[in-house]
Amino acid sequence: MQFRTRAIHVGQDPCPQTGAVVQPLHLASTFCQHEAGVWREFDYSRSGNPTRKALETTIANLEGGAGALAFASGMAAIHCVTAMLKSGDHVLAGSDIYGGAYRLFHKIMNRAGVTVTLADSTSVDAMAAAITPATKLLWVESPGNPLLSVCDYAALAKLAHSRGALLGCDNTFATPVLTRPLELGADIVMHSATKFIGGHSDVLGGLLAVREKPLLDELYFVQNATGAVMGPLESYLCSRGVKTLELRVREQCRTAQSLAEWLAGRPEVERVYYPGLDTHPGHAIAARQMDGAFGAMISFEVKGDFARAKKFCESTELFKLAVSLGAVESLIEQPASMSHASYDAADRKKHGIADGLIRLSVGLEALEDLRDDLEGAMSKSR
Ligand SMILES: *Cc1c(COP(=O)(O)O)cnc(C)c1O
- Using one digit for the tens of pLDDT, what is the confidence trace for 36-53? 989 999 999 999 999 999
The whole-number pLDDT of residue 381 equals: 87
Q: How far is the CA of 361 from the centre of ligand 1 (A)?
A: 14
From the candidates 46, 158, 250, 320, which is the catalytic residue? Answer: 46
120 catalytic per annotation: no
Q: Which atom of ligand 1 is nearest to the CA of 173?
A: 13
CA distance 95 to 105: 12
* HSE (side-chain half, CA atoms, 13 Å) at 99: 18
CA distance 263 to 284: 21
| Overall average pLDDT of the 4-22 stretch | 95
Q: For residue 247, what pLDDT band results from cuts at 50, 70 and 90?
A: very high
Q: For residue 289, what pLDDT band results from cuts at 50, 70 and 90?
A: very high
170 catalytic per annotation: yes
Residues of each domain in the chain carrying CATH 3.90.1150.10:
245-380
CA distance 187 to 168: 6
Residue 351, pLDDT > 90, answer: no
217 catalytic per annotation: no
Whether the model pTM is above 0.75: yes
* Per-residue pLDDT reduced to its tens digit, 357-376: 999 999 999 999 999 999 99
Residues of each domain in the chain carrying CATH 3.40.640.10:
3-242
From the candidates 89, 120, 152, 170, which is the catalytic residue? Answer: 170
Protein residue with least CA distance to atom 2, ligand 1: 192
Reported as type and span, the H/E element at residue 7 is helix 3-9
* Per-residue pLDDT reduced to its tens digit, 213-238: 999 999 999 999 999 999 999 999 99
| Overall average pLDDT of the 16-42 stretch | 94
Q: 354 or 150: whose pLDDT is higher? A: 150
From the candidates 53, 89, 96, 98, which is the catalytic residue? Answer: 98
* Per-residue pLDDT reduced to its tens digit, 81-95: 999 999 999 999 998
- Length of the chain equals 382
Residue 343, pLDDT > 80, answer: no
Class of domain 245-380: alpha beta
Q: What is the mean pLDDT of the chain?
A: 96
For residue 281, how many other CB atoms are within 10 A of its CB?
Answer: 12
Q: How far is the CA of 288 from the centre of ligand 1 (A)?
A: 25
Q: How far is the CA of 205 from the centre of ligand 1 (A)?
A: 9
Q: How many angstroms separate the Cα of 242 from the Cα of each of 8, 109, 238? A: 7, 32, 6
Reported as type and span, the H/E element at residue 218 is helix 213-226
67-71 and 206-210 beta bridge pairing: antiparallel
| Overall average pLDDT of the 115-128 stretch | 97
CATH number of the structural domain 3-242:
3.40.640.10
Q: How far is the CA of 234 from the centre of ligand 1 (A)?
A: 15
Q: Which atom of ligand 1 is nearest to the CA of 323?
A: 1
Q: How far is the CA of 382 from the centre of ligand 1 (A)?
A: 32
Residues contacting ligand 1 via CB (< 6 Å): 73-75, 98, 100-101, 141, 145, 170, 172-173, 192, 194-195, 204, 206, 325
The whole-number pLDDT of residue 346 equals: 83
CA distance 73 to 60: 17
| Overall average pLDDT of the 160-168 stretch | 98
